Structures are given as C-alpha cells and as structure tokens.
A and B are shown apart, each in its own frame.
Chain A
Amino acid sequence: MAKGTPKPDELSRIDYTPPQKEWMDTPVKLKPGMYCWGAKAKNLQAVGFPNARDWTPADEDWKLPENWEWTVLEGIYDRLKKYRSFQLFLDICVRCGACADKCHFYIGSGDPKNMPVLRAELLRSVYRRHFTFGGKLLGRIAGARKLTLDVLKEWWYYFFQCTECRRCSVFCPYGIDQAEITMMGRELLNLLGLNIDWIQGPVANCYKKGNHLGLEPHTIMSNIEFMLDDIESITGIRIEPSFNRKGAEILFVTPSGDLFADPGTYTCMGYLMLFHELGLDYTWSTYASEGGNFGFFTTNEMAKRLNAKIYAEAKRLGVKWILGGECGHMWRVVHQYMDTWNGPADFLEEPVSPITGTKFENAKTTKMVHIAEFTADLIRHGKLNLDPSRNDHLKVTFHDSCNTSRGMGIFEEPRYIIKNVCNNFYEMPENTIREKTFCCGSGSGLNAGENMELRMRGGLPRANAVKYVHEKYGVNMLANICAIDRAALSTLMDYWVPGVGVTGVHELVANALVMKGEKKRTTNLRGEPLPGVEEEEEEGKEEKEEQGG
C-alpha cells in the first residue's frame, strides 16, 4: 500500500457536495494517490509510440511536442471519420444524468467529473468547439471550450480514472458506451506520449517477450514446474504438460498473471489438474504466453499488434482450436475484436469439446472458447468426479468481471461450476452482479501501487456488496474469473472487508476434483488442511497417546 493512503474509516466519509463554481471553471488538481506514474521513454520507444521521453505528471511541464493542440485535433478528426460510434456518442448524449451515480469512481470519490456524463463532457466540449457549427458560433453557451493545456491535463487525470467497465452504459437510455469515449480519450493522449507506465511497461514487455510480466520461456516453464511439484505433493500425481507442441488439438492461452502471483497460481494449478484428469490433448505456448492485452488501453492498433500472436501461434502449431483461461479484458478483446483484427482464423476448426462432443457455436468465428464454458459443459455431462465437501470451509460469492459479463454475457457458467464444486454459495445483491456488476476498481491498467487511494475508492461499491454477504451469511471467499480481479480484489478485501479471501473458479474446481489415482488429500492447493482433516489428525493423535499411555 502506497504511503499516505487514507484509512478505511477516513476514506469512507465521502463528500458529494459539488464545487461552488461551474465545472469548466473548476481547474483540475492532480491529487497524489489518485493517478499513476507517467509512461517511461524506453517503454514508449519499445513499440514506436510518439513523444517518447521520461516525464512526471506532477511537474508543470509535460514535455509536449510543439503544435500538440493540432496533433490532438487532427486525432479527433481522424477518429470521427474512422469510428461512427465515436461521432454518435459525442452527438447524442442529452445529459440526462442516468449514468451519473452508476460509476464506481463517482460513488467512491464524490468527484462530479467522475460522473460518466461529465467525464465524457470533458472531451465532448472540445469536440463541440472545434467540430460543430453551434459550438464554434456560440462557444461556452453551447457547452463548448477550447483545447488548452489545463483541459489536456484534465483529460489525462480523468480518463485514467475510468476502468472502461461499461456499467454506466447499461443504464444509458441511448446506450452510449462510455468505455469507447475513454478509449478514444486515451488514444488521443497517446498521440502525445501521455500514457501511464503501469500500462506502457506491460505493453513493452508483451511486445518484446510475449507477456506482460516479461517472463522468458525458461521462466514460464520453471514457474509451471514449481506448480507441478506442489500438485504432486498434494495429490501424489505427477503431471507432465507440453509446451509449444505441434499437432496438439488445443492451444491453451491464459493471462500471465496466473503464472506468477498468488492467488492466480492456484487457478493455474487448477487448469493443469483439470486438463490432466481429462487427458486433454493440449499445449501451452511460451510465445503466445499472454491472454491479456494492455495494448487495449493504449490504442486500437497496439491492441491488434499484441493480439496477433495468438492466431499466429495457433497456426504455427497446427492446433484445431484455442481454449482461453480466466481473464477479464482478454475476453472483451477475443470476443469482440480478435477475429476482425487478425482473422479470419479459417485455418482453425469450429471448437468441439473432445470429451463431450459439444459444439461451441458461440465461438464459431473466433475459434476460442472460454474455460468457464468448457468446464460447465463437462460438469453438465457428468464427466468430472467432484467432491464439493472439500470446499465446505468456504462460503463463496461470485464477482462478475465487467468484461466477461457485460462484454460477452457469461453469467451462468461460472455460477453453475461453483454450485457444483462448493456447497455454500451466496449471491451479492441483485444490482451489484451480472450485467450490473461493480468493477474491482483497478481494471483497464489501473492496478498500480501509486494510485492506491483511487483503487480503494473505486472498489468501494464492490467491497460494500461483499461486506453485505460477509455479514449476512458469513461469506469468506470471493470467486471470480479474471486475473486482474485476483490481484486487485485481494488488496481491496483486506482494506474494506478483512477476512474475505479471493480465488479463481478453477482453484475451487481443482480442490473438489477427485482425480484418478490420487492419494488421500489432506490439504487444498494453498496448503491449508482440508475440512475435517485436522480433527481426524487430532483424534488420531489422541488415540495414539491413549494407546501409548
């Protein structure tokens, strides 16, 4: 936790009183803890982004190129021509305010510029001034304003206080997708080298080494090897997965966070155990070693470049289809962009589960199946031997990730899985789940350390809903299907709702999975004793003592 982050009781006293002056007359103040460090020169250079230089957001001088105003205006013009949605979303908003209190950042901060309508207005006002007749003529009366350095700084501050979660768009009567406004805003900032390093670093890593963490092939293998050792000591089964194997039926791609940080590593162990148990003909890749795509938080082009390796590797290895792990924004990219960016993937086949014969028709064009769909289908067909009592010490609730829920409609599959592998499942309140789910507060590349106050504020609505089920039902585990969630929610829970852990769904699956030839399990994947085991051991000890005495 960054120094200076307020304590929970202080942070929860939120002031919703708007400033005295009108929003255009309220200049932006960059508050430490609410923003991330600026992108470093070397990370911008690595992918050929413009205006690569080291810069500090807190400094007066952002080292902008000459004529930067023109660059931005030209950028707006280009994007208006290229994306009809952008033009439409700028034009049709009637500022009804239905979205205003739906944003987790507004709820958690009380800052009116975090109301989605006003965040968009930051950009819309410039659009009006420079691109509409009324704005040119009437200026401020028509809600128009000039592009100035202060305006640019305001864009930067607030477009990196939006996680592109799209909750607001669920409530917009016009269906305006505010995430697209933020995405365009970030693209424009990117023209001036104004990204954040938490995004740009992973982008550079991914471009150079294939994944956000910059793990090299032998490191990936060593990390997985370590997990295999752990699996062997827990189950007695030695798993031998393959890497970069040509001719495998399925290529498996997951976010690299699963290969590195707890609790993602336990989810990864879950995948390994499940696939082994099925005898699945699949391979890992050390080249397409990243499912996530931080390029998506810079520009459309960059996202496309980083995404290209998934199909390229599938083609090189000659697999039939692709299976993807638990991730959030990875699936927005895969589901809505991949096949038009880098497809058609006509060298792949329509995915069919080799175990159940189910055709995944929803993945007909992308040829990539979400693991929650894959596993739910296995359970539905009775292909897994499950002992949910092994998860009896857990009272589980499920956090819908913004991208898998609002971006692709995965609501039922993870719940179906959890209900089959756990005996205690409780839903959070209805307006905080499924398509109305609240963001973790750290998505879209904002999962840094230096903006901790922002993250804890943005995560407050989600944490509040967890707190409700924690107090009402004793929920102690927050399940999810997203790598950023697994990292971000752990911090969030310890801040707002201590006593609630975080898990991937496939960790729960693997704990309940009775594998052929396994030894009697005494611990779960985290090395904690399984329910009932401690008592048994103690009883055993007592018996021995009695016998000995």
Chain B
Amino acid sequence: MPVIEYAGLEVELDDKGFLANFDDWNEKVACAIAEREGVPELTKERMEVINFMRQYYKQYNAFPILRAVCKNVHQPRDCVTEEFIDPLKAWKIAGLPNPEVVATESVDEAKKLYRLLVPD
C-alpha cells in the first residue's frame, strides 16, 4: 500500500489511491490526496462537495446522486463535474473507500469525456 507524505503528514492509501482508513481523514489529508489527484486547490466550493459526500456516505453507505450533492450544497447542477471533472476524484479526496463497480462510469461521463478527449 502506498504511503504519501504531505506537509509532514503520512497518509496511507490503497493501491487504487483511495484512503485506507476512513477515520484517518481530516482537511490536511484531503489536501494531500487532492495534490496526488491533480486537483489544484481545495476551494470553499470543493470542500462543501467533499464534506457532503462524507456525510452522505456515513449515513447511506453509497455514492450519492450527483445532482443531489449540488442541490444540497446550493451549487449549480453540474458542480461536481465542474469542480472535479471526475466525480471519483471528489470521492477519493473525501477519504471514502473504493466504490468499485458502482456505476460511476455513467455518472456524467459525458462531460468528463468531452473534456479529456475532444479539446486537443
């Protein structure tokens, strides 16, 4: 299992880059994972998304409907893909375990794809 270092902090991840222990999470850990995932800065908007995902996961043990995330944090309907491009990155930064075959693929894959492939 990889261990990453960030500002004197050691964070243990699983082999796909998800936080190994749910309870290890704090905002510094979030920053560490964000850096690894190439998310430049954890702005207020991004932190709202992440905090909501954590809270939702605790209660429902599931990946939330993305529109529901945005509605709950009072941001535009596409906020998760706008802020993170890949919703799974937000999930990782929130310190949640690998959702594996949850249909993340279909979750607004469209925009992600379009940005990753078509522009160049």
Name B91-120 residues within 8 Å CB distance of A.
Answer: 100-110, 112-114, 116-118
In the complex, how many residue pairs between chain A and chain B have their CB atoms under 8 Å apart? 90
A334 to B83, CA, bound (A): 41
B1-9, B24-32, B36-44, B58-66: which lies at the A interface?
B58-66
Map CB proximity to A onto B10-49 as digits: 1 under 8 Å, 0 otherwise. 0000000000000000000000000000000000000000
A198 to B99, CA, bound (A): 12
A472 within 8 A of partner (CB)? no
CB distance B68 to A261 under 8 Å?
Answer: no
**Residue ID in chain B nearest A204 by CB atoms:** B101
Assuming A213-B103, A226-B68, A260-B103, is B109 touching A219 (CB within 8 A)? no
A291 within 8 A of partner (CB)? no
Q: Which residue in A218, A222, A226, A490 is a CB contact (below 8 Å) of B106?
A: A490
B74 within 8 A of partner (CB)? no
A498 within 8 A of partner (CB)? yes
Nearest Cβ distance between residue A397 and chain B, in whole angstroms? 18
- Chain A interface residue count, CB cutoff 8 Å, equals 40
A238 to B36, CA, bound (A): 44
CB distance A216 to B117 under 8 Å?
Answer: no
Q: Which residues of B contact A257 (CB under 8 A)?
A: 103, 106
Q: Which residues of A contact B66 (CB under 8 A)?
A: 262
Q: Which residues of A contact B65 (CB under 8 A)?
A: 223, 226, 260-262, 265
A494 within 8 A of partner (CB)? yes
Q: Which residue in B62, B104, B106, B113 is a CB contact (below 8 Å) of A495?
A: B113
A493 to B106, CA, bound (A): 13
Nearest Cβ distance between residue B70 and chain A, in whole angstroms? 10
Q: Which residues of A contact B68 (CB under 8 A)?
A: 223, 226
Q: Which residue in B62, B104, B107, B113 is a CB contact (below 8 Å) of A1?
A: B113
Q: Which residues of B contact A226 (CB under 8 A)?
A: 65, 67-68, 71
A449 within 8 A of partner (CB)? yes
**Residue ID in chain A nearest B77 by CB atoms:** A527
A7 within 8 A of partner (CB)? yes
Q: Which residue in B60, B103, B113 is a CB contact (below 8 Å) of A487?
A: B103
CB distance B67 to A491 under 8 Å?
Answer: no
Chain B, interface SS category? helix
CB distance A213 to B109 under 8 Å?
Answer: no
CB distance B62 to A262 under 8 Å?
Answer: no
Map CB proximity to B onto A209-228 as digits: 1 under 8 Å, 0 otherwise. 00011111011001100100
A371 to B81, CA, bound (A): 32
Assuming A226-B68, A491-B110, is B62 touching A202 (CB within 8 A)? no
CB distance A1 to B109 under 8 Å?
Answer: yes
CB distance A205 to B110 under 8 Å?
Answer: no
A367 within 8 A of partner (CB)? no
Nearest Cβ distance between residue A252 and chain B, in whole angstroms? 19
Q: Which residues of A contact B118 (CB under 8 A)?
A: 498
Nearest Cβ distance between residue B104 and chain A, in whole angstroms? 8
CB distance B114 to A494 under 8 Å?
Answer: yes
CB distance B107 to A448 under 8 Å?
Answer: no
The 10 A-B residue pairs with the shortest CB-CB distance, nearest first, are: A487-B106, A201-B101, A219-B60, A261-B106, A226-B68, A219-B62, A494-B110, A1-B113, A491-B109, A494-B113
Given contacts A213-B62, A491-B113, 16 further A-B pairs with CB under 8 A are A1-B113, A212-B101, A213-B103, A215-B62, A216-B60, A223-B65, A223-B68, A226-B68, A257-B103, A260-B65, A261-B106, A261-B107, A262-B65, A262-B67, A491-B106, A494-B114
